[in-house]
Amino acid sequence: MKILIVEDEVKTGDFLQQGLREAGYNPDLARTGVDGLHLALTEEESYQLIILDVMLPGIDGWNLLQVLRLNGKQVPVLFLTARDQIEDRVKGLELGADDYLIKPFAFTELLARVRTLLRRTRSSTDATVLRVADLEIDLLKRSVTRAGQRIELTAKEFSLLLLFMQRQGEILPRALIASQVWDMNFDSDTNVIEVAIRRLRSKVDEPFFPKLIHTRRGMGYLLEDIQD
Ligand code: CA
């Protein structure tokens, strides 16, 4: 597991790097905000956690975190702050830090926080795959499988299925489907939704058992694993 430490105090940086290495992680150490930012943005195999000192020469921890988030980097960040001030912690959390630790700290405390943050990331990564019965949708790969078989969907069909899966068991009225998937106001003259649902069913339901997409006449549609 790759961890980036950004810490300008030589002793603290070395101590963190050594401790994390002994704990089985693969830590890189940057001694300035500029180097830290460069590593965080350019490393090919991305970091799973950044331990970030607030007070750094050049780019400080706040700025570094802001630039990371602006660049779409969602890596968890553990802030190290020397100042035991509530404003600092609030500011860090508002900027998108995931946790903070006040210096001086015991290494065992840091390790406990690191483990928690890494565990949290792993479970949220899993949440990019949604499942209902044997139907799976992978949000990162934008792929759909049922009973292990890959199913090719158009972009609209994918959005439609995603909506159903995110709100499984809920009856979704046509107007809601129209606004969420087609970004349009529902017009009862159009049968675009019926057509799309028929196509989706022919791909994800008809060749399989049980049927997952159900019609509730006069109310809408729902996706649910109802075996009765
Ligand atoms: Ca510092």
Q: Is the pLDDT of residue 173 over 60?
A: yes
Distance 55 CA to ligand 1 centre (A): 4
- For the stretch 15-68, pLDDT in tens is 999 999 999 999 999 999 999 999 999 987 789 999 999 989 889 998 999 999
Distance 70 CA to ligand 1 centre (A): 23
Query: Closest by alpha carbon to 81, among 108, 98, 58, 101?
Result: 101
Distance 117 CA to ligand 1 centre (A): 22
Pairing of strands 220-223, 213-216: antiparallel
- Which pLDDT score, from 0 to 100, does residue 223 have? 95
Residue 52 to residue 97: CA distance in whole angstroms: 9
Residue 203 to residue 63: CA distance in whole angstroms: 48
Phi, psi of 138 (to 5 degrees): -105, 110
Alpha-carbon Rg for the chain, nearest whole angstrom, is: 24
Distance 43 CA to ligand 1 centre (A): 23
Write out the H or E segment, with its range, that includes residue 90. helix 86-94
- Which pLDDT score, from 0 to 100, does residue 20 have? 96
Residue 220 to residue 191: CA distance in whole angstroms: 13
Domain ranges of the chain: 2-125, 129-223
Tell me if 2-125 shares its fold with 129-223: no
Distance 19 CA to ligand 1 centre (A): 18
Amino acid letter, 200: L
Report the CATH superfamily, name and number, of domain 2-125: Response regulator (3.40.50.2300)
Distance 123 CA to ligand 1 centre (A): 31
Average pLDDT, the chain: 88
- Which pLDDT score, from 0 to 100, does residue 143 have? 93
Q: Name the pTM for this structure.
A: 0.56
Distance 118 CA to ligand 1 centre (A): 24
N-terminal to C-terminal alpha carbon distance within the chain: 46
Distance 81 CA to ligand 1 centre (A): 8
Distance 32 CA to ligand 1 centre (A): 9
CATH no., domain 129-223? 1.10.10.10
DSSP string of 198-209?
A: HHHHHHHTTTSS
- For the stretch 205-225, pLDDT in tens is 999 999 999 999 989 999 999
